[in-house]
Amino acid sequence: MMQPKPATVLSIRGLTTTFPGPRGDIVIVDDVSLDVARGETLAVVGESGSGKTMTFHSALGLVPSPGRVVAGEVLLDGADLLRLPPHELRQRRGADIAIVFQDPLTALNPVFTIGDQIGEVLRAHTRLSRSSARKRAIETLERVHIPDPHRRVDDFPHQFSGGMRQRALIAMAIALEPKVLIADEPTTALDVTVQAQVLELLADLKRDTGMGLVLITHDLGVVARYADRLAVMYAGRVMEQGTADRVFETPRHPYTLSLFRSIPHLDTPAGTDLTPIEGLPPNPALLPTGCAFEPRCFHGGGREDCRSGRPALTPTDVPEHAARCWHWTELASERRPS
Ligand SMILES: Nc1ncnc2c1ncn2[C@@H]1O[C@H](COP(=O)(O)OP(=O)(O)OP(=O)(O)O)[C@@H](O)[C@H]1O
Ligand SMILES: [Mg+2]
């Protein structure tokens, strides 16, 4: 029997963001469409500069000036965030959709206590009194497993370890029980044991609340363990997406395959030769006319159609598994990542 499709809570459609450049606008997020369902984890991977952060900052109306979202929709439970008046967007951000930013050190204010900072989020969105906000802040710290929350609520950020600061940021993000949580590289600054704890925490919170989780990560082990679906980005575009299992087993874009071969993941046997992807990620101001990956592609590189025509993201063997490559069928015989 077919599983019913889980309910989509966040639907990003054709999102496009540009920055002005010396020779015209530079496209940084290029026609990105992504869906997140309730209770589902979507992992987003891609080399540094591929547009992962900018995609979700665009979705939340957080693109730094002079950048601009020039097209697309961001439907959260059916309402387009990009068309809300600024005060309503601010209201929904935090309450309905929240983000844990990539840089945890700058995201906490050193001069306020942890409790004040969580309380601030609560009071900006609700009519809670100062004392009820403090009570809720303590409860929220408890939910993210901060030991002794009654006492730690009055600590300043520097009194927290790195792992606890990351938990405090997650506490701020989930304080209002958002429907979608975006976690941008939530564990890169942490040591391995603490990383695992933070990821387990996110998975538990997701299970308990049914929120949709977007996990931006460089770590394929994290993808293998936590992701239901996977999107692979390159040059501001989604190059491939599908269920995580399927994309892992049968990548249909040469970039995905190269990425998998270039970084270690959970079941990479010790001693496996990793193959770095040759060349550098492209300068977004100087993208090739055809496929953005063509100059580095082991597969189609040099072919006329790859150089001249820009492939669309199209369904592969199964409709939910899409890739942006003219020659995806030829990948079937490629060695899948070990
Ligand atoms: N303020 C800005 N002005 C102009 N371009 C920017 C700005 N911030 C980022 N970019 C460019 O946008 C592109 C996408 O950056 P983004 O931060 O989204 O990448 P990322 O995939 O999140 O990378 P990382 O893995 O390093 O976090 C890059 O080419 C980057 O140089
Ligand atoms: Mg980023």
Ligand 1 atom closest to Cα of residue 185: 27
Residue identified by tokens 């006329």 is: 304
CA 270 to ligand 2 center in whole angstroms: 29
Q: Nearest Cα to 292, choosing from 312, 262, 274? A: 312
CA 53 to ligand 1 center in whole angstroms: 7
Q: How confident is the model at residue 21, as a pLDDT? A: 94
Taking the C-alpha atoms of residue 245 and residue 240, their distance in angstroms, rounded to an integer, is 13
**Ligand having the closest approach to the CA of 25:** 1
Taking the C-alpha atoms of residue 259 and residue 5, their distance in angstroms, rounded to an integer, is 29
Spell out which residues line ligand 1, taking CB within 6 angstroms: 19, 28, 46, 48-54, 64, 67, 102, 284
Q: Nearest Cα to 11, choosing from 113, 70, 79? A: 79
Residue 286 belongs to a domain with what CATH number?
A: 3.40.50.300
**192 in any annotated domain:** yes
Task: Using most ligand atoms within 8 A of CB, pick from 32, 34, 45, 54 the residue to mutate for ligand 1.
Answer: 54
Taking the C-alpha atoms of residue 104 and residue 253, their distance in angstroms, rounded to an integer, is 33
**165 in any annotated domain:** no
**132 in any annotated domain:** no
Query: What is the tally of structural domains in the chain?
Result: 1
Please check whether residue 61 is in contact with residue 249, taking contact to mean a CB–CB distance below 8 angstroms: no
- CA separation (Å) from 80 to 9, 83, 147? 12, 6, 39
Query: Is the omega angle on the peptide bond into residue 104 within 30 degrees of 0, that is, cis?
Result: no
**50 in any annotated domain:** yes
**133 in any annotated domain:** no
Q: How confident is the model at residue 188, as a pLDDT? A: 80
First to last CA, the chain: 31
Taking the C-alpha atoms of residue 109 and residue 128, their distance in angstroms, rounded to an integer, is 22
**161 in any annotated domain:** no
Q: Can you read off the two tokens belonging to residue 1? A: 């029997």
Q: How confident is the model at residue 265, as a pLDDT? A: 65
**44 in any annotated domain:** yes
What's the one-letter identity of residue 254?
Answer: P
Residue identified by tokens 């961001």 is: 74
Give one word for 26, left, alpha or beta, with left for phi > 0 and alpha for psi -120 to 50.
beta
Q: Pairing mode, if any, of strands 314-315 and 322-323?
A: antiparallel
Q: 83 is in which domain, residue-wise?
A: 8-106+178-333
Taking the C-alpha atoms of residue 3 and residue 277, their distance in angstroms, rounded to an integer, is 37
CA 79 to ligand 2 center in whole angstroms: 26
Taking the C-alpha atoms of residue 206 and residue 147, their distance in angstroms, rounded to an integer, is 21
CA 218 to ligand 1 center in whole angstroms: 15
Please check whether residue 70 is in contact with residue 62, taking contact to mean a CB–CB distance below 8 angstroms: no
Please check whether residue 310 is in contact with residue 290, taking contact to mean a CB–CB distance below 8 angstroms: yes
Q: Nearest Cα to 253, choosing from 191, 297, 206, 199? A: 297
**119 in any annotated domain:** no
Provide the residue-wise pLDDT of the chain in tens; the chain has 338 residues. 555 566 999 999 999 999 999 999 999 999 999 999 999 999 999 999 999 999 999 999 999 999 999 999 999 988 999 999 999 999 999 999 999 988 766 789 999 999 999 999 999 999 999 999 999 999 999 999 999 999 999 999 999 998 999 999 999 999 999 999 999 998 887 888 888 999 999 999 999 999 999 999 988 889 999 999 999 999 999 999 999 999 999 999 999 999 988 877 656 666 666 778 888 899 999 999 999 999 999 876 678 999 998 999 999 989 899 999 999 998 876 655 54
Task: Using most ligand atoms within 8 A of CB, pick from 17, 53, 263 the residue to mutate for ligand 1.
Answer: 53
CA 54 to ligand 1 center in whole angstroms: 6
One-letter-per-residue 3-state SS of the chain:
CCCCCCCEEEEEEEEEEEEEECCEEEEEEEEEEEEEECCCEEEEECCCCCCHHHHHHHHCCCCCCCCEEEEEEEEECCEEHHHCCHHHHHHHHHHCEEEECCCHHHHCCCCCCHHHHHHHHHHHHCCCCHHHHHHHHHHHHHHCCCCCHHHHCCCCHHHCCHHHHHHHHHHHHHCCCCCEEEEECCCCCCCHHHHHHHHHHHHHHHHHHCCEEEEECCCHHHHHHHCCEEEEEECCEEEEEEEHHHHHHCCCCHHHHHHHHHCCCCCCCCCCCCCCCCCCCCCHHHCCCCCCCHHHCCCCCCCHHHHHCCCCCEECCCCCCEECCCCHHHHHHCCCCC
